[in-house]
Amino acid sequence: MNYNKKTVRDVDVAGKKVLLRCDFNVPQDKETGEITSDKRIVAALPTIQYLLDNSAAVIACSHLGKPKNGPDPKLSLAPVAKRLSELLGREVIFAADVVGEDAKAKAAALRPGQIMLLENTRFEKGETKNDPELAKAMAGMADLYVSDAFGAVHRAHASTAGVADYLPAVSGFLIQKELNFLGGAIANPKRPLVAILGGSKVSSKIGVINNLLEIADTIIIGGGMAYTFAAAQGGKVGDSLLEADWMAYSKEMVEKAAAKGVKLLLPVDTVCADAFAPDAKSQVVRSGEIPDGWQGLDIGPETVKLYCAAVADAGTVIWNGPMGVFEFPAFAKGTEAVAEALSKTNAITVIGGGDSAAAVEQLGYADKMTHISTGGGASLEFLEGKELPGVACLLDA
């Protein structure tokens, strides 16, 4: 995939109506509907401010949650419009629909330097089906399309890809940054390239491991998926998470890494517990020697040393997925140690969204990382080498 895309700086936006796809899928309090983190709204501000400062009229849009049957008042973007207005220090006009009479009238009346926000794009059934009629209707309100919702670019929806069939399409600053760092880490990494993969399942990381075996110098495996690798090599994993169907695949990956000269590092010891609970009794055992009735919940101290040494002299590190059950403090030591090691390395550090991003932020290392991705699913598909529909549709630079 070509990661070199035109951005808002490459086109004249003055006097244009710009349809701007943002990622305003913010977490909300289930009872009050109050926004509990405005990080995603804040992330969109540089692109919005640039467009407004350069005399564009901005028609922002986003999805929020997964409405089941059309409009759902609990998933309205009205609270987002209010928060965006506070952050920008100017009025954000809110449309009560996506392509209905209200949206069309407000878009037609919009002047340069003004911003409006359409209602939740998923209130339209055609959004997730990439319905050309819906895409055409959305595009009909604007002169230019700017995509800045990296968290949604792996989906071919009407507002993320379809509209680009009817309007010139460029990226905003957020997507440009993602393409620079994630694209750079994959297409042209500073070597050695070390990839750290954690999380619970091998099955969810197959494509990533396959792709990284072609480009990485070292691949580090942690989290629940390590037990499938251990079992594949004849180890005892007790009651640990195990995907028996993926054992042959795991063995094949170990052989493939050896044949390609890629270092594949697996845990040498494990912190195991007698129950899946924050206060469970624990002990450290050699990998592949977990007693019956016990389950592995974190990497052990020797593994921590091994993994931290591997990132110390790396040129680029990509990290996706925790090393253990990070939500239990007693089994978060491996994840904490890796995060700390990354904060001290001189390597380019790219954190691939989701749980790894949450861990780094929670531990206070966010400002020590080169780049933290804003899209969990999108960054994962990026690492798999898949084409992302919401990026592929943008004009090449």
| C-alpha of 294 from chain center | 33
User: What is the pLDDT at residue 325?
Assistant: 96
Please compute Rg for the chain using Cα positions: 23
| C-alpha of 324 from chain center | 19
User: What is the pLDDT at residue 183?
Assistant: 83
CA distances to 93, 99, 115, 141, 142 from 110, rounded to whole Å, are: 9, 15, 7, 10, 10
Q: Name the phi and psi angles at 187, rounded to 5.
A: -80, -35
Nearest-10 Cα torsion for 162, 163, 168, 170: -80
Residues 6+ apart with CB under 8 A from 268: 286, 287, 300, 302, 303, 306
What gap in Å lies between CA 264 and CA 207, rounded to an integer? 16
How far is the first Cα of the chain from the last one, in angstroms, to the nearest whole number?
13
What gap in Å lies between CA 268 and CA 340, rounded to an integer? 20
What gap in Å lies between CA 177 and CA 387, rounded to an integer? 17
Buried b (16+ CB within 10 A) or exposed e, 33-70: eebeebebbebbeebbebbbebebbbbbbbbbeebeee
Q: Which residue numbers are catalytic?
A: 40, 201, 354, 377
HEC profile of 222-245 = CCCHHHHHHHHCCCEECCCCCCHH
> What does the angle CA 316 – CA 319 – CA 321 come to, to the nearest 5 degrees?
170
Amino acid, single-letter form, for residue 280: A
Identify which of 292, 267, 270, 265 has the alpha carbon closest to the alpha carbon of residue 282: 270
What gap in Å lies between CA 206 and CA 187, rounded to an integer? 19
User: What is the pLDDT at residue 236?
Assistant: 98
Residues 6+ apart with CB under 8 A from 148: 20, 21, 22, 23, 44, 47, 171, 172, 173, 174, 175
User: What is the pLDDT at residue 353?
Assistant: 66
- Within 10 angstroms of residue 324's Cβ, the number of other Cβ atoms is 27
User: What is the pLDDT at residue 104?
Assistant: 98
User: What is the pLDDT at residue 247?
Assistant: 96
Q: Domains along the chain?
A: 8-175 (3.40.50.1260), 189-383 (3.40.50.1260)
Q: What is the DSSP letter of 103?
A: H
Residue count of the chain, please give it: 397
> What does the angle CA 32 – CA 34 – CA 37 come to, to the nearest 5 degrees?
145
> Two tokens at 200?
């619970």
User: What is the pLDDT at residue 268?
Assistant: 98
User: What is the pLDDT at residue 21?
Assistant: 98
Rounded mean pLDDT for each run of 10 residues along the chain, 397 residues in total: 92 98 94 91 97 98 94 96 98 98 98 98 97 98 97 96 98 94 86 95 90 96 96 97 96 96 98 97 98 98 98 94 95 96 95 85 94 84 90 96
Strands 282-286 and 269-273: antiparallel
What gap in Å lies between CA 360 and CA 356, rounded to an integer? 6
Identify which of 162, 155, 109 has the alpha carbon closest to the alpha carbon of residue 133: 162
What gap in Å lies between CA 284 and CA 270, rounded to an integer? 6
